[in-house]
Structure 1
Amino acid sequence: MTVYHFVGIKGSGMSALAQVLHDMNYQVQGSDIEKQLFTQIGLEKSGIKILPFTKENIQPGLTVIAGNAFRDDHEEIQRAMELGLPVIRYHRFLGDFMKNFTSVAITGAHGKTSTTGLMAHVMRGAKPTSFLIGDGTGRGDKDAQYFVFEACEYRRHFLAYHPDYAIMTNIDFDHPDYFASIDDVFDAFQQMALQVNKGIIACGDDEQLQKIQAKVPVIFYGFNEENDFQARNVNSTTEGTTFDVFVRNTFYDTFTIPTYGNHNVLNALSVIALCKYEDIDAEAVKEQLLSFTGVKRRFSEKVIGNQVLIDDYAHHPTEIRATVDSARKKYPEKEIVAVFQPHTFTRTQTFLSEFAESLNMADHVFLCEIFGSARENQGKLSIEDLQEKIPGGKLLSEDNTSVLKQFQNSVILFMGAGDIPKFQKAYEAELED
């Protein structure tokens, strides 16, 4: 029996794929750095063996799945090549694997992890479904008919996939270390669109997505009149958000989600559209939407006294705006305090003014040192360059989080894609003292 060895098993996509294969009765193990990462929790629960990196891990008989973050000169990949073992890159393996199911790729600059989580949750309520989410979560079903997965545009990795369906949430300029411009990003999505086999569900409120050409039907969803699936009469309550769905101007049904903000209505609308296309009963969809508890590091809440601490992966100005908007809608009586750690120097430099504008939507702003990537050069940029653009913005370090105690009756948003959770952890320890 094939044993799959994952090089970089703690990567978010890698850990999710390892869990899917494990659930489907394949033998799985992997290696990674010894630092504790949130993606390993699922692996440990499944009893999947995690080894420290060493070429001795590579033995005859293994099939090696290599994470995209590791180059061919990595000691384990080198050893596998010397032994003549199959070495398959993560996205290539996934591209072949999905051919066994009705596959649904979820892609977009923002919202793909939340939408993948929601789609997987709703689909599983109706049909056997395997799924792979970018928060490190994956679940395999031996009888799976559907495979729902997150498809990332970074370095055009998603061009390894030829899915039956694609949900496209939006096109925005991000990953400036790779993409040259918004046109370059659009070009990647356009190439992806031509690889879809059955249908594309695209957000028609996004001006870039309106230009997408495809060989299959493109179904548009959104708030604007001209969309095929339109959300109307959106109403927020303390329970969540209720809205009516019209299909080509004809009332279809009313749905409720336990979350807030227009971006969450749009994510749900894309799921409703795909389920209708696949003849999944609207009542089952309604029920599953209501019971969705969210994905890791996406508006994850913890209440301590009269403060609400929220951990969120927001690392782009568009995402910060959406997170602040959600917090305002859910907690209209509370002050909003943003604690933000920029992720990569290239992204911070490219969007310096936009980051300032989105953070200025909060009542108070604290900034943590920029979390750099091993791939880049810091240049002259520092966190003070962003601070200058935020009136009243202050710096926060791991050992002075107690300053956040002054904000009684507030929502504290810990945002970023680096190691921002350690700041929240430090603050929670302060509160316990």
Structure 2
Amino acid sequence: MTLYHFVGIKGSGMSALAHILFDMGEQVQGSDIEKEFFTEIALRDKGITILPFNADNIQPGMTIIAGNAFGDDHEEIVRARELGLEVTRYHDYLGKFMGEYTSVAVTGSHGKTSTTGLLSHVMNGDKKTSFLIGDGTGMGMPNSEYFAFEACEYRRHFLSYSPDYAIITNIDFDHPDYFASMSDVFNAFQEMTKKVKKAIVACGDDEHLKDIKTEIPMYYYGFGDHNKVIAKNVETVESGTKFDVYIDGTYIDTFKTPMFGNHQVLNALAVITICYLEHLDMSAIKEALATFGGVKRRFSEKKFGSQMLIDDYAHHPTEIKATLESASKKYPNKDIIAVFQPHTFSRTSAFLQDFADSLKVADQVYLCDIFGSAREASGELTIKDLQVLIPNAALINEESVSQLKVHEDGVIIFMGAGDIQKVQKAYENLA
């Protein structure tokens, strides 16, 4: 039996892949920094060993899978090569792995994780589907027919994959530390479509996706009548959102998701389209859609006294807008409080005014210091540059969380891709 060693096992994609290989009966261990990260709890619960980084972790005969965040000069990668071991990058390994299944890549600038989670849950309502989700969740189902996975555009990593299908949720400018412009992002997605074998399912309401050119079938979904797959009669009810689905003008069925917000309906349309193309049982798909419980760090709710606390990964203005929309639709009679931690100085600088505009719709905004990346310099930018653009915005940290107590019966949303959870934990510990 092969022993797989993951260099950077706490990374969301890496931990998900570790789960998959473990579920398939392989021996799995990994290493990472000692700082606590949300993915490690599930790994440890399975008995997967997590070690501090050390060259001595690498032993002869291991198969090494390296996270994309760690360069060739990392001590463990250097040792592996000294021992003559092959080092495979995460995206390269995943590209080879999916060849055994009918694979569905989920990509886009926003909504990848939520849509991949929904896709894997819904498809498993009819056919066995293994999956890899960007929230650190993965499962290798024995005798699976399908493999649903999140494919990230950062550094064009998704070009390592040749899936049967691809869902593209949207195209937006992000990762300004890598992409030079909106056209650079678009070109990356255009290049990715050439790797897809059977069909592409894309949001036809997105202003950029309509310009994608492909030689394989393209199934556009959305609310507009120009789409092939359309949601009509969308209705927000107490327990979620109901909508009718039409494909090529023909009524398919009325579906319901327990999620709130138009972006959740779009995600559901994408998933329903894949299931339709693969001729899955629509009654089973409908039933599974209605029981989806969400994914980690995407609108994760917790009752706290008279307040509702929500943990969400939103770290781009478009995502913040969608999260706040979901909250206001689910809790129309409550104050919506945004606690936001910007992620990376480059993103904060590039979208400073956009962040302000997206946050202004909240009833009150609190801001944490910018969570920087090891890849960048901070320059002179500080959180106060964002604070001055948002009326009445206040600063907050672990020591000053008591100010949130004044929002009785409010919905407090902790948003960000850094370590915003420590602020929420500090608040919960006040009780």
Counterpart in 2 of 1:218?
218
1:324 equivalent to 2:334? Answer no
Counterpart in 2 of 1:125?
125
Residue 250 (structure 1) shift: 1.6
Cα deviation digits, residues 110-155 of structure 1 (max 9, x gap): 0000000000001112111110000000000120110100000000
What one-letter code is carried by the residue in structure 2 that aligns with 1:293? G
Whole-Å separation in 2 of the counterparts to 1:179 and 1:67: 20
Whole-Å separation in 1 of the counterparts to 2:34 and 2:391: 40
What one-letter code is carried by the residue in structure 1 that aligns with 2:154? Y
Q: Which moved more, 1:45-54 or 1:269-278?
A: 45-54
Whole-Å separation in 1 of the counterparts to 2:305 and 2:67: 42
Whole-Å separation in 2 of the counterparts to 1:23 and 1:425: 31
Whole-Å separation in 1 of the counterparts to 2:45 and 2:195: 36
Whole-Å separation in 1 of the counterparts to 2:385 and 2:354: 13
Counterpart in 2 of 1:342?
342
What one-letter code is carried by the residue in structure 2 that aligns with 1:385? D
1:379 equivalent to 2:405? Answer no
Counterpart in 1 of 2:234?
234
Whole-Å separation in 2 of the counterparts to 1:330 and 1:306: 16
Whole-Å separation in 1 of the counterparts to 2:51 and 2:125: 35
Counterpart in 2 of 1:14?
14
1:143 equivalent to 2:143? Answer yes
Counterpart in 2 of 1:303?
303
Q: Which moved more, 1:208-217 or 1:271-280?
A: 208-217
Counterpart in 1 of 2:98?
98
1:183 equivalent to 2:172? Answer no
Counterpart in 2 of 1:407?
407
Whole-Å separation in 1 of the counterparts to 2:406 and 2:43: 39
Whole-Å separation in 1 of the counterparts to 2:318 and 2:125: 31
Counterpart in 2 of 1:174?
174
Whole-Å separation in 2 of the counterparts to 1:18 and 1:129: 17
Is contact 1:194-1:213 (8 Å) kept? no
Whole-Å separation in 2 of the counterparts to 1:343 and 1:32: 21
Q: Which moved more, 1:209-218 or 1:113-122?
A: 209-218
Gapped runs of 5+ residues in structure 2?
none
* Aligned 1:412-431 pairs, distance under 5 A: 412-430=412-430
Counterpart in 2 of 1:281?
281
Residue 305 (structure 1) shift: 2.1
Whole-Å separation in 2 of the counterparts to 1:301 and 1:390: 26
Cα deviation digits, residues 290-340 of structure 1 (max 9, x gap): 111100000000111221100000000000000000000000000011000
Is contact 1:105-1:148 (8 Å) kept? yes
CA RMSD of aligned residues (A): 0.7
Whole-Å separation in 1 of the counterparts to 2:216 and 2:2: 37
Whole-Å separation in 2 of the counterparts to 1:54 and 1:168: 39
Is contact 1:116-1:133 (8 Å) kept? yes
What one-letter code is carried by the residue in structure 2 that aligns with 1:283? S
What one-letter code is carried by the residue in structure 2 that aligns with 1:396? I
Q: Which moved more, 1:49-58 or 1:64-73?
A: 49-58
Return the TM-score normalized by structure 1: 0.99
* Aligned 1:29-178 pairs, distance under 5 A: 29-178=29-178
Counterpart in 2 of 1:352?
352
Residue 343 (structure 1) shift: 0.3
Residue 29 (structure 1) shift: 1.1
What one-letter code is carried by the residue in structure 2 that aligns with 1:368? C
What one-letter code is carried by the residue in structure 1 that aligns with 2:395? L
Cα deviation digits, residues 349-378 of structure 1 (max 9, x gap): 000000000000101000000000000010
How many residues align? The count is 431
User: What secondary structure does 1:236 align onto?
Assistant: strand
User: What secondary structure does 1:399 align onto?
Assistant: coil
User: What secondary structure does 2:88 align onto?
Assistant: strand
- Identity fraction in percent: 64
What one-letter code is carried by the residue in structure 2 that aligns with 1:412? I
Counterpart in 2 of 1:193?
193
What one-letter code is carried by the residue in structure 1 that aligns with 2:112? K
Whole-Å separation in 1 of the counterparts to 2:374 and 2:286: 44
Return the TM-score normalized by structure 2: 0.99
Cα deviation digits, residues 193-242 of structure 1 (max 9, x gap): 01000110000000111111112101000000010100010001111000
Is contact 1:245-1:254 (8 Å) kept? yes
Residue 192 (structure 1) shift: 0.3
User: What secondary structure does 1:419 align onto?
Assistant: coil
What one-letter code is carried by the residue in structure 2 that aligns with 1:306? S
Whole-Å separation in 1 of the counterparts to 2:391 and 2:110: 27
Gapped runs of 5+ residues in structure 1?
none
Is contact 1:241-1:258 (8 Å) kept? yes
Whole-Å separation in 2 of the counterparts to 1:255 and 1:418: 35
